Structure 1
Amino acid sequence: MSAAPESPAASDEAGDEAGGQAGGEAARRGFGLGFTAVCGGMLLANLASGISSVAFPWLATSVTDNAMLISGVAMLLELPWLLASLPAGVFIDRADQRWILVLTHLFRVLVAGGIALSVATGATTLVLLYAAAFLIGSATVLNENTSQVVVPKLVPAPLLERANGYLVMTDTVGGLFLGPWLGGLLLGASLTLPFLVEGGLFALAAALMCLVVLAPRERERRRRTMRSEMAEGLRYFWQHPLLRPLGLFLGLLNLSSAIALSTQVLFAQTVLGLEAAQFGLLFLAGGVGSMLGAWFTSTLEKKAGSRRILLISLAGNAVTSLAIGVASNAIVVACAIAGGGLFSTVWNVLTVSYRQRIVPEELLGRVNSIYRLLAWGPLPLGSLLGGALVTASQAVLGKETGLRTPLFLAALIAGTLCVVAALKLRDGIWSPDYRAGRED
């Protein structure tokens, strides 16, 4: 592959000495109240979203035992990432961003409260669950994209990498691990309780947004159309020889993850024999792995290099899925999920830092939305594929083997990506001497 255009990175290196003094001053000032509020709000909201990821499918099992229909709930939670990411970016640029954060949190309070009421009154239907999942997912897209946009306005430039590291950890630990664990714990007590707690967490997150103060923005008189600006970002991304494979790799990894996770609740019930609270503990193990990844990524990169760490991350994802697929012991599965959390976080920290270095500032918002579209867009498709794969394979191979099949497919996808990366990608962040995690 040809070398990537990295003029922003070169500029970064030229300014290292000059920026050191400013970086030290920024570090002494800290992140400030605004960023602390955004980060705290994201933690609360991601905890709530994590509860949703467990509570919605589990509640669906009380309505139907059809794997395809249950996987539809997970699909609709993620479908807005595919449908709304690019239009949301345009809306965020034109509206009051603090109010977007407040209102999207409050909107999710109403939806979660409505589901809690339906459970308490015995009025829950699959159609209602589908609608609520889609509405919560839509608000989440708008909220999380806005959070990424406001962070550079709240954090001094020398602290952006560290701030983004905290946000990656918050997203992963809260949304993928602690939230699902809490959801499982709450489900063990009551079907209504998870949705009540979820609504309360969103309400607290909305209150924290009142502490965020953003400088007034000048309303730009747009002379270019939305289509032309989107096209410019798409061209930059697609023509870049390293961003493109990074985005496509992440999309395929998330596709494989969604395939495996869409029917994991049935895997836990049937193969592992877990109750709701025990099911949530599996995700807590993943949170431990994710925190370790967030803390040690920089050290690992400096010792082994970005290319080797990225390849290990891809291989680790394959091994994790394979280990879960062949296991029948919950402790083994918990250890594998912890490893998956570590590998996923390492990948995210390294690749996000690289993207921030090499994309020009005037294109970063659009390129970032494209990247998130590729990252999250495949999730609903993966959820549907996972449900269809289990349904089809159960008819031929039996119930237990059918539930293991999506995990074997996920392992195959990650393993294939590792081989492709090892053979084909050697420039930029894939170069053995690229220092993606260096301290300026």
Structure 2
Amino acid sequence: MSRAVSRGADVVVPRRLGTGFRWLLASSWTTNLGDGIAIAAGPLLVASQTDQPFLVALAALMVWAPPLLFGLYAGALTDRLDRRRIVITVDLVRAGVLALLTAFIVTGSVSIALVLVAMFLLGTAEMFADNASQTLLPMIVDREDLAVANSRLQTGFITVNQLAGPPVGAALFAAGAAWPFATQAVLVLLGTVLVSRLVLPRADTSEEPAPVTRVRQDIAEGFGWVRGNAAVRTLVLTIFTFNITFGAAWSVLVLYATERLGLGEIGFGLVTTVGAVGGLLGVASYGWITRHVSLGDLMRIGLVVETLTHLGLALTRSAYVALPIFLVFGAHAFIWGTTSITVRQRAVPSALQGRVGSVNLVGVFGGLVIGSGIGGLLAQHGGLTAPFWFAFVGSAVFVVLIWGQLSHIAHADEAEAPAAV
């Protein structure tokens, strides 16, 4: 029995990835479960405190604002300080905020203002933790194994964050408003203990110490590196642009699903579930795909799939047509996300991982914020399908313009074929 379990563990987490990766993976999956619980519990707590649409929208902004406000600063600190300690410190802060929020709920003294402040603090801490955590992987895993390692991390995100976490969070909230946040605090603390077991390679003391610089100089250096590297520059530009079109369409997804497709509130949850199942299919096929398709071609295929997704959703009124589209899109989102992270981690020097990652993060959330604003205006004046038509046309035009540049993604590091998953 123990041998069978050991063999199963080796399939899920190959031994060649090392003990350090297993600690990092366990920590990631644990904290992702807590974050998945909050996906459902957070909005439910906000709705229990207010029915004003402005305050409900403000709660979402509290989660989205930190990467735009502090993302570049977080990247600079990640490259200056001990990355493992950053993750540990901010996760302890997160656990403390969750414990205080739980105490306020239990004592009946919670308010919408306190909830908004808590969401902003939690979003800020999570952003610092995520930025630093992404830079740990290239430090402990060989370059040729990054695709495999990232796929395992994404598997946990899909299964525990997207599939398991939200229904658990909703059930815990129904049992008592404080339960999901107390549970998340415990999970974050457990994730902190797990990542504390990670041992990073020692710095090369033979190199001369880096000159003392200001944070602004560090941030500028990160931007400069992105501008000068064709592969990563193309990635950031693509992610920013496609998040504008994606954000426009997905900003009205709940109305599109409930009104145009007639799925209702429960059916809307099915959209997320179907997308997550598509992600799991992407997990299962990722090893085969990366052995037979170059990273540059994967990017091209992914952009075409996303463009056609918007077109298909703009044309259909049938849930039976839309749900398979969401399934394919879920697989694409996983494959695209894993590939883009792998490309960046292979290309970026270790000393710049935090800053370049933060530039990418600003592109991600900047595109989403701009796209959401555009989508809301288009839907209000042109109907629910207007954002999807905008997303299709905008994506198609950008694909044509960027097509040749995507060859940069097949950079020299890709010469080493990814190992089998």
TM-score interval, smaller chain: 0.7 to 0.9
Distance 1:410 1:185 in 2: 35
The answer (yes or no) to whether the contact 1:71–1:262 under 8 Å persists in 2 is no
* Equivalent in 197, 221, 229 of residue 240 of structure 1: 229
Name whichever of 368-377 and 209-218 sits farther off: 209-218
Distance 2:184 2:406 in 1: 44
What CA deviation, in whole Å up to 9, does each residue of 1:217-240 have, x standing for no partner?
Answer: 579563333333332332221133
Spell out the pairing of 1:23-422 with structure 2 (5 A cutoff): 29-65=15-51, 67-119=53-105, 123-184=109-170, 186=172, 191-214=177-200, 220=209, 222-262=211-251, 264-265=253-254, 272=262, 274-275=264-265, 279-303=268-292, 305-324=294-313, 333-386=322-375, 393=380, 396=381, 401-402=383-384, 405-422=386-403
TM-score normalised to the size of structure 1?
A: 0.76
Deviation at 1:156, TM superposition (A): 4.3
Q: CA, structure 1 residues 129+323, in 2 after alignment: closer, same or farther (shift >3 Å)? A: farther
Distance 2:51 2:389 in 1: 23
The answer (yes or no) to whether the contact 2:75–2:131 under 8 Å persists in 1 is yes
Q: Which residue of the partner structure matches residue 405 of structure 2?
A: 425
The answer (yes or no) to whether the contact 1:57–1:265 under 8 Å persists in 2 is no
Q: Report the RMSD for the aligned CA atoms in angstroms.
A: 3.7
**Secondary structure of the equivalent of 2:17?**
coil
Distance 1:316 1:105 in 2: 36
Q: CA, structure 1 residues 188+338, in 2 after alignment: closer, same or farther (shift >3 Å)? A: farther
The answer (yes or no) to whether the contact 1:68–1:387 under 8 Å persists in 2 is no
| Unpaired stretches in structure 2, ≥5 consecutive residues | 1-12
The answer (yes or no) to whether the contact 2:234–2:406 under 8 Å persists in 1 is no
The answer (yes or no) to whether the contact 2:23–2:195 under 8 Å persists in 1 is yes
Distance 2:263 2:69 in 1: 36
The answer (yes or no) to whether the contact 1:75–1:384 under 8 Å persists in 2 is no
Distance 2:173 2:320 in 1: 21
Distance 1:324 1:183 in 2: 29
The answer (yes or no) to whether the contact 1:238–1:244 under 8 Å persists in 2 is yes
Q: CA, structure 1 residues 203+439, in 2 after alignment: closer, same or farther (shift >3 Å)? A: closer
Distance 2:322 2:102 in 1: 31
TM-score normalised to the size of structure 2?
A: 0.79
The answer (yes or no) to whether the contact 2:244–2:368 under 8 Å persists in 1 is yes
Distance 2:295 2:210 in 1: 42
What CA deviation, in whole Å up to 9, does each residue of 1:78-125 have, x standing for no partner?
Answer: 221112222112323343433322232232223334444555565554
Q: CA, structure 1 residues 50+340, in 2 after alignment: closer, same or farther (shift >3 Å)? A: farther
Distance 1:381 1:60 in 2: 24
Name whichever of 182-191 and 197-206 sits farther off: 182-191
Distance 2:98 2:342 in 1: 34
Given residue 238 of structure 1, which amino acid in structure 2 is its aligned partner?
R
**Secondary structure of the equivalent of 1:224?**
coil
Distance 2:14 2:265 in 1: 48
**Secondary structure of the equivalent of 1:288?**
helix
The answer (yes or no) to whether the contact 2:131–2:354 under 8 Å persists in 1 is no
The answer (yes or no) to whether the contact 1:74–1:383 under 8 Å persists in 2 is no
**Secondary structure of the equivalent of 2:211?**
coil
The answer (yes or no) to whether the contact 1:178–1:284 under 8 Å persists in 2 is no
Distance 1:193 1:322 in 2: 42
Q: CA, structure 1 residues 301+41, in 2 after alignment: closer, same or farther (shift >3 Å)? A: closer
What CA deviation, in whole Å up to 9, does each residue of 1:229-270 have, x standing for no partner?
Answer: 332332221133342222111122233434444454565566
Distance 1:237 1:148 in 2: 17
The answer (yes or no) to whether the contact 2:232–2:409 under 8 Å persists in 1 is no
**Secondary structure of the equivalent of 2:213?**
coil
Q: CA, structure 1 residues 342+226, in 2 after alignment: closer, same or farther (shift >3 Å)? A: same
Distance 1:161 1:36 in 2: 15
The answer (yes or no) to whether the contact 1:86–1:370 under 8 Å persists in 2 is yes
Q: Which residue of the partner structure matches residue 23 of structure 1?
A: none
Deviation at 1:198, TM superposition (A): 2.5
The answer (yes or no) to whether the contact 1:301–1:435 under 8 Å persists in 2 is no
Q: Which residue of the partner structure matches residue 9 of structure 1?
A: none
Deviation at 1:343, TM superposition (A): 0.8
